[in-house]
Amino acid sequence: MNFLKHRWNDIVEYVMEKVIFLAGIISIAFVVLIFIFLLKEGLSLFKTYSPFSFLFGLSWYPISHPPKFGVVPLFLGSIVVTLGAILIAVPLGVGAAIYIAEVAPRWLREILKGLVEFLAAIPSIVLGFIGLVTLVPIVKEVFGLPTGLTALSGAIMLAFMAMPTIVSIMEDALTAVPESYRAGAVALGATKWQMIWRVLLPAASSGILAAIMLGIGRVIGETMAVMMITGNAARIPTSITQPVRTMTATIAAEMGEAVQGSEHYFALFGIGILLFCITFLINFTASFFIKRKR
Amino acid sequence: MKRLKKCALFLSIALIIFLPVSTFAYAKDTKTFQIKGSDTMVNLGQAWAEEFMYQHPDASIAVTGGGSGTGIAAILSGTCDLAQSSRSLHDEELKNAAEMGHPITETVVGLDAVAVIVHPSNPVTQLDVDQLSAIFTGKIKNWKELGGNDLPILVLSRERNSGTHVFFLEEIVRRGIKKATEEYSHEALMMPSNQSIVQEVKSSEGAIGYIGLGYVSPQVKVLDVAKSAAGPYVHPDLETAQSGEYPISRPLLFLTSGTLDPVMKDYMDFVLGPDGQEIVKILDFVPLKNK
């Protein structure tokens, strides 16, 4: 009887192991398949259109005859919005994480953590809509611009989206610093501020960098909110207070219209490859930093 | 722990067995006809479909937007039964369709006038097509060049999947010249909908944009438009669009492919009939002239 029971357990063990293995393999296979599909569709563009004019072309007029698929204005649009968002989100995020991890009393810490994570749960379209009716008129008024639909509005809104990622990973990194570091610093007569600035932040630096990289990854892939509030003009941006068109918004806005198998359709997949490469690079650097931390 | 494992195993088996069953249960036997396309026409299409389904309770029609380009792409790939479009197909698209074995038929079901709108405080009241072209290509950048205030012009266009975008590009930006290569200025903002253009124009003194006549609201000012500087400058409304005096009006189209399902055929007759055309008028579009 006992023998049978052991036998049954072995079988269950075996089946579960295979099921989990399959689940793992499937998720990897999906990534590979997606990349292959992207490559296949995106590279088809270069049969008829030169890769050089795609990567370095300065204008994006996809439905003209002949069309122009210069990705530079879109790329720069994404960069301007992302940089702006990160410049806003990182100082705020670092401050919030330090406060939550080190300064706030225990009861407040739990509430704040919950609220920051709740911020991550707000759908991006809702943030975009709120930005459109509240932030956009303010930006127009404050900077005296002809329109509030600018890279700046997008950057501010996206900063809110990057914050939860940055704060929660950074907070983890800070709490992971061994208690002995804190005790040591205080024993040497450091003030709380000196301890945070000179000991905790350097000790948690790779975690902090990882948090920033993942925040960037979150921002550069964001679509709906930027499409609603950045104005979508495919120009080369010279200032953050101008309208821009990001890569993601271009794909979203034009995919429905592009006839399958047309040059335009392939060009949108080309942008997809570019985006995929950028986010891959960012995630790769982030995991590099996380590994170094361990 | 053991119990937990058994529980997990049981759950995964149950999932594998019941998942396909539950999806089958959702399959229905009445066919829902899919109509897709022009955002300008989506309210109109929904009003038609509602009235048609009221008259034919067993018919089921779903109307969605996404832009004329979306509708054209959908009818070419066979993912909708009928496409609504506010622009004619290009030669290339017609050729594509024939090659893919889906020859497309266009039917005019109504007219739409495209109104050019500015902020109510703007002293400019009329523009000709050449001036509009210069504004939208970015050659004229300030309202003072047009007799207005010293204010930079904010150019608003619809997004590229919009039939209005393409129509305005061909008829105004390129002034109806087939071989012309003018483009919207790269500084032009691409707005996702008629509504968002109205929203932006009413809050921005220097803005100019174009929308379907049905979307004009009292918070914006509609300009009179002339074919050339010689005039006459015409205000867009029902009569001027129907008579063709107003220079920026266009046909609203149904695109169909191959042989039509009888229900879709009834639907088309309904739309072209008196009830359908009355709905066109109620929604501030321009009905076809009585033959």
Q: Which residues of A touch B (CB under 8 A)?
A: 9, 12-13, 15-16, 19, 59-65, 73, 137, 140, 146-147, 149, 227-228, 231-236, 243, 245, 253-254, 256-260, 262
In sequence order, what are the residues at sequence separation of 6 or more whose Cβ sits closer than 8 angstroms to the Cβ of residue B175?
A: B129, B130, B133, B182
The span from the CA of B7 to the CA of B280, in Å, is 60
Q: Do A41 and A125 lie in a common domain? A: no
A25-A30-A32 Cα angle (round to 5): 95
The span from the CA of A92 to the CA of A102, in Å, is 15
**B42 at interface of A, judged by CB pairs closer than 8 A:** no
Q: Do A73 and A141 lie in a common domain? A: yes
Contact B69 A260 (CB under 8 A): no
Residue B58 token pair: 């067993």
DSSP per-residue codes, chain B = -HHHHHHHHHHHHHHHHHHHHHHHHT--SSPPEEEEE-STTHHHHHHHHHHHHHHSTT--EEEEEE-HHHHHHHHHHT--SEEEESSPPPHHHHHHHHHTT--EEEEEEEEEEEEEEE-TT----EEEHHHHHHHHHTS--BGGGGTS-S-B-EEEEE-TT-HHHHHHIIIIITTT-TT------TTSEEES-HHHHHHHHHH-TTEEEEEEGGG--TTSEEPEEESSTT---B--SHHHHHHT-SSSEEEEEEEEESSPPHHHHHHHHHHHSHHHHHHHHHTTSBPPPP-
Peptide bond into B262 cis (omega under 30): no
| Widest Cα–Cα separation across chain B | 90
Residue A96 near residue A167 (C-beta atoms within 8 A)? yes
Q: Do A77 and A12 lie in a common domain? A: no
Quote the number of domains for chain A. Answer: 2
Contact A233 B72 (CB under 8 A): no
Sequential pLDDT tens for chain B (291 residues): 455 556 555 555 555 555 544 444 444 446 788 898 888 788 889 999 999 999 888 888 889 888 788 888 888 888 888 999 988 887 777 887 788 777 888 888 988 888 999 998 888 888 888 889 989 998 888 888 888 788 888 999 988 877 788 888 888 888 877 777 788 888 888 888 888 899 889 888 889 999 988 788 888 988 888 887 777 888 888 788 888 788 888 888 899 887 778 888 888 889 888 888 888 888 878 888 764
Contact A147 B189 (CB under 8 A): yes
Domains of chain B and any CATH numbers: 33-110+251-282 (3.40.190.10), 113-249 (3.40.190.10)
**How distant is the Cα of A234 from the closest Cα of chain B, in angstroms?**
6
The answer to which of A89-98, A126-135, B24-33 has the lowest mean pLDDT is B24-33
**How distant is the Cα of B187 from the closest Cα of chain A, in angstroms?**
6
Q: Do A89 and A10 lie in a common domain? A: no
ipTM greater than cut 0.90: no
Q: Do A262 and A141 lie in a common domain? A: yes
Q: Please say which residue of A10, A28, A47 terminates a domain.
A: A47
Contact B188 A147 (CB under 8 A): no
The span from the CA of B102 to the CA of A143, in Å, is 52
Residue predicted with more confidence, A27 or A291: A27
Q: What is the mean pLDDT of residues A31-36?
A: 90
The span from the CA of B46 to the CA of B166, in Å, is 23
Q: Do A11 and A119 lie in a common domain? A: no
CATH of the domain at A209: 1.10.3720.10
* pLDDT (0 to 100) of residue B124: 86
Contact A146 B70 (CB under 8 A): no
The span from the CA of B76 to the CA of A200, in Å, is 61
In sequence order, what are the residues at sequence separation of 6 or more whose Cβ sits closer than 8 angstroms to the Cβ of residue A253?
A: A227, A232, B159, B160, B161, B190, B192
Contact A235 B186 (CB under 8 A): yes
**How distant is the Cα of A112 from the closest Cα of chain B, in angstroms?**
34
**B14 at interface of A, judged by CB pairs closer than 8 A:** no
The span from the CA of B254 to the CA of A157, in Å, is 40
Positive or negative, the CA dihedral B208, B209, B212, B214 is negative
> What are the tens digits of pLDDT across the range A46-68?
888 888 888 888 888 887 778 88
Residue B256 token pair: 């169909």
| Residue A269 structural domain | 56-293
Contact A146 B154 (CB under 8 A): yes
Q: Do A60 and A42 lie in a common domain? A: no
- Shortest CA distance to B6 belongs to which of A48, A236, A214, A8? A8
Give the nearest partner residue to A233 out of B9, B188, B206, using CB atoms.
B188
Q: Do A140 and A11 lie in a common domain? A: no
* pLDDT (0 to 100) of residue B21: 47
**How distant is the Cα of A238 from the closest Cα of chain B, in angstroms?**
12
Q: Do A9 and A74 lie in a common domain? A: no
Phi-psi region of A32 (alpha: psi -120 to 50; beta: other; left: phi over 0): alpha
Q: Does pLDDT of A182 surpass 50?
A: yes
Residue A164 token pair: 């939860």
Contact A63 B166 (CB under 8 A): yes
